[in-house]
Amino acid sequence: MNNQAQKPQPRGPMGGRGPMGHGGPGAFMKGEKPRDFKGTMLKLIQYLGRYKWTVAIVMLFAIGSTVFSIVGPKILGKATTRLFEGVMAQVAGRGAIDFTYIGNILLTVLALYLVSTAFSYIQGWIMANVSTNIAYRMRKDISQKINRLPLKYFDGTTHGEVLSRITNDVDTVNQTLSQSLTQIITSVVTVLGVLVMMLSINWLLTLATLLTLPLSVAFVGLVIGRSQKYFKQQQEYLGHVNGHVEEMYGGHVVVKVFNGEEESVQKFDQYNNVLYDAAWKANFISGMMMPVMNFIGNLGYVVVCILGGYLAIQKAITVGDIQAFIQYVRTFTQPIAQLANTSNVLQQTAAAAERVFAFMAEAEEIPDAAQPVNLACAEGRIEFRDVHFGYSPDKIVINDFCAEVEPGQKIAIVGPTGAGKTTMVKLLMRFYDVTRGAILLDGHDIRDFARGDLRCNFGMVLQDTWLYNATIMENIRYGRPDASDEEVIAAAKAAHVDHFVHTLPEGYNMVVNEEASNISAGQMQLLTIARAVLADPKILILDEATSSVDTRTEVLIQQAMDQLMKGRTSFIIAHRLSTIRNADLILVMRDGDIVEQGSHTELLGRGGFYAELYNSQFEAAGA
């Protein structure tokens, strides 16, 4: 990739869009529920499609583990009955306890529980692998999606909001799949299996136990209805908190310079208080599930003990069956409580998955042409033909922009702030597409090129520099990944980087830290210029490329850039008009229109808007 990426800049409270923009809380309704719980869960199931056979195996192991565990109490009840009968016979002097039979029963139950444990371990291990793979796949899909989204999306969404979806939301889905999915399977099988076992012991006791079931269902429905909206709000404001922290940390120097700490803390407290309130309510309401379900279960437990004792006296049921049934009652209510608790987890998962799927459903860049133009070597002829553009349909910022640029020409674009200079460059690179009109490269509409092929013809040096966490050598090589070390060093020398690199610890092997704070702003600018030199593009875009260097270095850089621009079409966005006096053509922009064009001498001679801009910088200096 020959063009230089632009680093997302911090948007703090001192002149940039903060989190109260499109990515702030105004983008969501407070306490909003998932818009489509069922639809989201169906999408998640479809996402699991490629793992259907693995999930089926997990289900078999989960069912096997549960069945072996369920059978145990009834078999153990036989041992209890034989022990009780033996004790009674021994007391009456009519026999002894059959320890051999009891021992065989205990060994059988032990074997069943061991097999159940083994099956549970296997299904847990398989499901952990599946859930991790899904989380990996989700993050990969989101990462690829990010590269396909238009810049318009990121203009309206905070960076922390995007990061929250790729971290917090995916983690929530991962944890649910690894823990709750198998718990749902085992809980359902346990309820059904225990119900069958209880019916096989005594239908009257089973009926008495089931009388508590409507009470459980009613309570579960009440909890789900109350807690669902808070889980959704919790996930949303977790993204807002992340976005604010990322923004303030990225711009912490600006925040400190303008004493914005108090405002930053207040905004953080605002988001954090809403997050705290939503999380507290969600966890409190869902936390009521287990104790209340245990209370309801204990009611059934009391009923079984009383009714079971009466039936035992009537000799309608054995002591061992009562003991087994009591175990089944406890086992019956526990999975119902687990299902109820899991339902809350599923709500949180639905909220997280909904945000992930909503992100992946965002409108992407217009696809490249089916049969894109492929220029072996671009000449660099550019034509702006009746170009109109607006970031929104009701706000057009470029109006009827027309200009022709011949190969090898040096074109300067000047004008006051907000005139549309940088917007023209974004259109040229197809970061945005024109609303009306066309931009042509060598006679071909740039929309007929594949974006990657188009951008290979451009090199950019921006006022906002961007370096990543790697060595200086690798940061320069970003302009042409296949370049040798010798070529990188040659480009560094051409951009006057080599001399200061040797003053740094480890030279070209010094690692630029994450915030690029271990080198100066001017050195960062020089490195990005070296990157453009190495890329050797046919068309150059320079956006005030020497704004961060000292006067002496600026002269050297200007000489290097003049050498680099020979034989190349160059676009220079300039604020200091003294730096573009030797441009072949100067386009003067005002309110999205070209109001003047010509050479420096011609424009000064006309005494128009350009002359006014040019002279104003000296008047400001004189004042």
Q: Which parts of 314-379 fold into alpha helices (H)?
A: 319-360
What's the mean pLDDT when you consider all of the chain?
78
Q: What is the pLDDT, as a whole number, of residue 556?
A: 67
Confidence category of residue 8, pLDDT binned at 50, 70, 90 = very low
pLDDT value of residue 438: 92
Residue 623 has pLDDT above 50, yes or no: no
Q: Sign (positive/negative) of CA torsion 286, 292, 294, 296?
A: negative
Q: How far is CA 441 from CA 406, 428, 430, in A?
A: 10, 9, 12
| Alpha carbons 447 and 190: distance in angstroms, whole number | 60
pLDDT tens profile 572-608? 887 767 667 788 888 888 877 788 888 888 888 888 8
How does pLDDT run across 236-250, given as a tens digit for each residue? 788 788 778 877 777
Quickly count helices (H) and strands (E) in the chain.
Answer: 22, 10
Among candidates 595, 551, 545, 600, which has minimal Cα distance to 411? 600
What is the predicted pLDDT for the residue at 344? 67
What pLDDT digit, counting tens, does each position of 83-115 carry?
A: 777 777 666 667 677 788 888 888 988 898 899
Residue 114: per-residue pLDDT: 92
Q: What per-residue confidence (pLDDT) applies to 59? A: 83
Fold for domain 25-360?
Answer: ABC transporter transmembrane region fold (1.20.1560)
| C-beta neighbour count of 263 within 10 angstroms | 16
Cα(606)–Cα(591) distance, integer angstroms: 20
Q: Tell me how far apart the alpha carbons of residues 414 and 593 are, in angstroms, rounded to a whole number.
A: 11
Average of per-residue pLDDT across 132-142 = 86
**With contact defined as beta carbons under 8 Å apart, do 335 and 342 qualify?**
no
**For the residues 481-499, what does the mean pLDDT come to?**
88
Residue carrying structure tokens 């009109």? 437
Q: What is the mean pLDDT of residues 316-333?
A: 78
Q: Where are the domains of the chain?
A: 25-360
